[in-house]
A = this chain, B = another copy of it.
Amino acid sequence: MNMANITKKVSWSSRGDDSARGEATPLLNGTEEVRYTRQPSGGLFHISRLSTVDLEEEITSEEQDSVRTRPNMIPHNEKLLSLKYESLDYDNIENQLFLEEERRMSHMGFRCLEISRWVICGLIGFLTGLIACFIDIVVEKLAGIKYIVVKQNIEKFTEVGGLSISLILWAVLNSSLVMVGAIIVAFFEPIAAGSGIPQIKCYLNGVKIPRVVRLKTLMVKVFGVICSVAGGLAVGKEGPMIHSGAVVAAGVSQGRSTSLKKDFKIFEYFRRDTEKRDFVSAGAAAGVSAAFGAPVGGVLFSLEEGASFWNQMLTWRIFFASMISTFTLNFFLSIYNNKTGDLSNPGLINFGRFDSDSVAYNLYEIPLFIIMGAIGGLLGALFNFLNYWLTIFRIRYVHRPCLQVIEAMLVAAVTATVSFTMIYFSNDCQPLGQDQTKDDYPLQLFCADGEYNSMATAFFNTPERSVRSLFHNPPGSYNPLTLGLFTLTYFFLACWTYGLTVSAGVFIPSLLIGAAWGRLFGILLSYFTSGSSIWADPGKYALIGAAAQLGGIVRMTLSLTVIMVEATGNVTFGLPIMLVLMTAKIVGDYFAEGLYDIHIKLQSVPFLHYEAPATSHWLTAREVMSSPVTCFNKVEKVGTIVNTLSNTSTNHNGFPVVIQIPDSDEPGMVCGLILRSQLIVLLKHKVFVERARTRLSQRKLQLKDFRDAYPRFPPIQSIHVSQDERECMMDLSEFMNPTPYTVPQETSLPRVFKLFRALGLRHLLVVDSENRVVGLVTRKDLARYHMGKHGLEELQLAQT
């Protein structure tokens, strides 16, 4: 028996527990979720500004000095868990109103609802495809104009000398485009920065990220990504597509726009978190589908990244949205390309088809692929690690919008300069093929007539095209030095770029880095094997390298495999891609987390993983719950309710409704659960018992009233309750959820976790053996525990 061990572990941890809670307890006792008070200037996910302010507020001057003198102790908040994020309620509130409505609905009614769900999903797919198409065409046009102008300029100055003017032209063009993109993001909607994938992950997980699915975010995102891609940054437009799809879904499914103050009076049934989440996952899938031409990959992405739910009908709807999205995109692009109706080339990024006959692989290549996977994992971990430090640096020093814009412009200028220098000093000349003249922008520079600069195909091009060239250009198109230098510079450029205040994704840069070193790997192989025919094609190694690098950075496996397979249009490489992605993940996870997870952690988001930490069985609900809990009676005095809601120190969002035993101090028996948002609607409509008695004509409050207020419930301060009214009573029984889920105090953390996660709960009541409330478990109580290097660790809760 190693009982002693257990005791030691427990006691160690309970000390950890105490110390962790020590700071927060005075404020947090019983707090479940602090209502988010909107800060005027910044986004929540936008790392740079807000968090730093908050952090600096926390650090007293003395502490700050000590931090400054010890640069190793850069304050970052990955060990904190923010209390500013509300949760979403992915469990239906089955109160009396809801049940009445459901019971009133006929079989036909449910069928109509089901049909409208399909219609909405179709619309989501259509609009997402349309937006993707718009972004693609505008980016192509803008970038095309830019490259042609610069190319002409370079050609002009190549002979007469003075290429520095071309460089300046290029850098200025890039910077000004990026400036526009950075300004709209930094000043108008900071939440639109980055790829948006971490935010959507959080949303699907059940964390409410403010303003993440608003129309304004969508606009900023779309124009931001156009500017940053056309501005020549090392970014892709695929991540933002996923975010756009999610916003479209959230908008369409609600049948109204709060921003535009337009209510179409349709789809009112879907105005709650559960339904909205389902549509948002469809939107995200549609985004992936449009971006990569990968409808199945989109479905898997939605499920792998976000969902804890798996429902056949829902999955089919998601699939349908994805399908329509690819279809729409293909159709409009086929019109744009004057090949109306030819749908065979799906997706925004088109890796080009790998011909299955010429490109095959053999058993003895598998170990090579695995080695490449490991390299990808290592490089990915390095990328993530560097980006992690960079992000912390940004949190500390680059938090003002204007600084952020300047940084973005600087990166744009540096990117142009580095590219130009690389091209300038490269002497890798290749003969011009027939097929390159139309779409690409081959630079002759100092090469002989009929030749082009090979470095320029990688740098002087949109990243998507560079990837395609690396995959498909015939052997010998690049020399190893070119590829090596390109990999090196692009790696650091991409790493610097991710996290800038621009709307941009990391998929394409990762693929590009990987494709470059993958192709290099292939070329080196054929050197060493003295050009044996099986190694002849470096394109497949470029593909494997791309997969390895992307896998090493984002750490998806299943969905990424399918996305890669769908994007290359060939299943032959399914098996090697899987192997490579798995290896990359295993190797990468050993050193650092995935990029998205790092950014989620740095934001201190209470993210719930699939399972509770393995060694958390010794924790019980009693230890993790918040207590005491503020409860209400079934019929409660309005004054009490208003006071409780107004009390900023106990800013709860859910209140158990109890039956108090008369003349007893013991906690009451659970008979329901009511949310802050519901109470606010009740107060706003003044649903008081006395009024109901005196004025019979008063309209009964309906589910519609709650739906109209969803999701932006007014704060309690905006509701005026007179002194007379404070003496009235409110009957909650009709509005509360009469059957909240409960667990006994002895329930182990993994069991609580499973219940919470599987049902998408927001509040879980902890009761004693006589069904009396003793505590409340919320997302933060569970997200607090995680596996660290030394076993189970507990994050600190912070108001930031």
Contact = CB atoms under 8 A, between A and B. Distances in A.
Contact of A310 (B303, B360, B566, B617): B303
A6 to B, nearest CB: 5
Interface of A: 1-2, 5-6, 92, 94, 99, 102-107, 110, 295-296, 299, 303-304, 307-313, 315-316, 319-320, 323, 326-327, 331, 334, 340-344, 346, 353, 356, 360-364, 366, 557-558, 561-562, 565-566, 569-572, 574-575, 578-579, 582, 610-611, 614-615, 617-618, 659, 669-671, 738-739, 741-744, 746-748, 751, 754-755, 758-759, 767, 769-771, 787, 791
Contacts of A769: 659, 669-671, 771
19 contacts: A99-B617, A99-B618, A106-B615, A107-B791, A110-B614, A110-B615, A295-B574, A296-B558, A304-B315, A311-B610, A319-B557, A341-B363, A342-B362, A342-B363, A343-B363, A343-B575, A671-B769, A738-B744, A739-B744
Contacts of A759: 754-755, 758
B319 A558 contact: yes
A610 B562 contact: no
Contact of A6 (B104, B327, B669, B738): B104
Given A102-B617, A342-B360, 20 more contacts: A5-B104, A92-B751, A99-B617, A295-B574, A296-B565, A299-B558, A303-B310, A309-B310, A311-B610, A311-B611, A313-B611, A319-B558, A334-B363, A343-B363, A343-B366, A344-B572, A353-B356, A659-B769, A741-B755, A755-B759
Contacts of A296: 296, 558, 561-562, 565, 574
A735 to B, nearest CB: 15
Contact of A105 (B99, B295, B615): B615
A315 to B, nearest CB: 6
A366 B346 CA distance: 15
Contacts of A308: 310
A617 B106 CA distance: 11
Nearest to A359: B344
Nearest to A366: B343
Contacts of A360: 342, 344
A494 to B, nearest CB: 26
B611 A669 contact: no
Contacts of A659: 769
Q: Which 9 A-B pairs have the closest CB atoms?
A: A341-B363, A110-B614, A102-B617, A771-B771, A739-B747, A310-B310, A758-B758, A344-B360, A103-B618
Given A310-B303, A558-B299, A669-B770, A107 B341 contact: no
Nearest to A319: B558
Contacts of A299: 558
Q: Which of A103, A311, A755 has the most CB of B within 10 A?
A: A103
Contacts of A103: 6, 617-618
Contacts of A344: 356, 360-361, 572
A262 to B, nearest CB: 30
A332 to B, nearest CB: 12
Nearest to A304: B312
A138 B500 CA distance: 61
Given A2-B104, A769-B659, A316 B614 contact: no
Given A2-B104, A571-B569, A769-B669, A363 B110 contact: no
A110 B791 CA distance: 11
A487 to B, nearest CB: 29
A92 B750 CA distance: 10
A356 B739 contact: no
Contacts of A582: 316, 320
A319 to B, nearest CB: 5
Contacts of A341: 362-364
A340 B787 CA distance: 45
A764 to B, nearest CB: 12
Given A311-B611, A323-B578, A343-B575, A751 B739 contact: yes
A341 B715 CA distance: 67
A323 B579 CA distance: 8
A789 B331 CA distance: 40
A326 B93 CA distance: 46
A558 to B, nearest CB: 5
A88 B42 CA distance: 51
B557 A565 contact: no
Contacts of A313: 610-611
Contact of A94 (B110, B566, B669, B751): B751
Contacts of A364: 341
Nearest to A671: B769
Given A296-B574, A575-B327, A739-B746, A340 B363 contact: yes
Nearest to A557: B316
Contacts of A767: 771
Contacts of A744: 738-739
A571 B566 contact: yes
A505 B307 CA distance: 33
B326 A575 contact: yes
Contacts of A787: 107
A578 B610 contact: no
Contacts of A319: 557-558, 561, 578
A669 B316 CA distance: 43
A624 to B, nearest CB: 14
A327 to B, nearest CB: 6
